[in-house]
Amino acid sequence: MPRTRTAALSVLLSSLVLTGVLWSTPASATPTLKQAREHIARISHGHARAEKIFPGPVGLTGVVLEIQGRKMVGWLTADGQYLLLGSLIGPGGTNETRAAMEHLGLISKPMPVAKFALSSVQADGFTVGRKGPLLTAFIDPNCIYCHKFYAEVMPLVKAGRVRVRFIPVAFLKPSSAGKSAALLAAKDPAAAMAKNEKDFDTTREEGG
């Protein structure tokens, strides 16, 4: 079985497909948190720390890890010799790693379509156009892909083929929040949006 070792971590597999029994080594007792920390400190050369353990599939021990300030889930083998990182795929294609991270609150669960649609209707935003079907677009004023979308969709808006409800959000840069707030607070948000896109700096990926 191929194995890649880096200075930061020793990783046996980045993606593992479970088809029944992982291997035929004798089962060992589930390690304590202290033991798991010792194993992981040795395997990762001190770059990873175990914060919590939980039972995993086929004799593996799930571990909540902190690596360079980032939390993730890994899987410790029964003998404490290997730490598996990445997607652990179980029967039926279930991503056990993602499921564990969602259950532990490390990542958000996908929002149901109906709930997402309702939240988009209730979110603060503004609409451009008077005719045609209504599209909803979440945009960061500093997002170059949002900028490209704006350039593509506005001719359709002006032709009366679609309407667009823009919902400003902030996730790319420290300046995004202020720019989104300014768009919503503007006397004419559509005009403020047009200015942001007209003065958009594509080299720096910064709204105007």
pTM exceeds cut of 0.75: no
CATH of domain 113-198: 3.40.30.10
The CA–CA distances, whole Å, from 13 to 22, 41, 111, 147 equal 12, 18, 30, 39
Comparing 23-37, 57-71, 92-106, 161-175, which segment has the lowest mean pLDDT? 23-37
As a dihedral over the C-alpha atoms of residue 199, residue 200, residue 203, residue 204, rounded to 10 degrees, the angle is 110
Return d(Cα 45, Cα 133) in angstroms, integer. 57
Task: With CA atoms as reference, report the closest residue to 101 among 128, 75, 146, 64.
Answer: 64
Please give the pLDDT value at position 116: 65
Inform me whether the pLDDT recorded for 200 exceeds 50: yes
pLDDT digits over 36-91, tens only? 999 999 999 999 999 999 999 999 999 999 998 889 999 999 999 999 999 999 98
Domain 4-103, architecture per CATH: Roll (3.10)
Question: Who has greater pLDDT, 140 or 115?
Answer: 140
Average pLDDT in the 24-31 region?
60
Return d(Cα 56, Cα 51) in angstroms, integer. 15
Q: Domain limits of the chain?
A: 4-103, 113-198
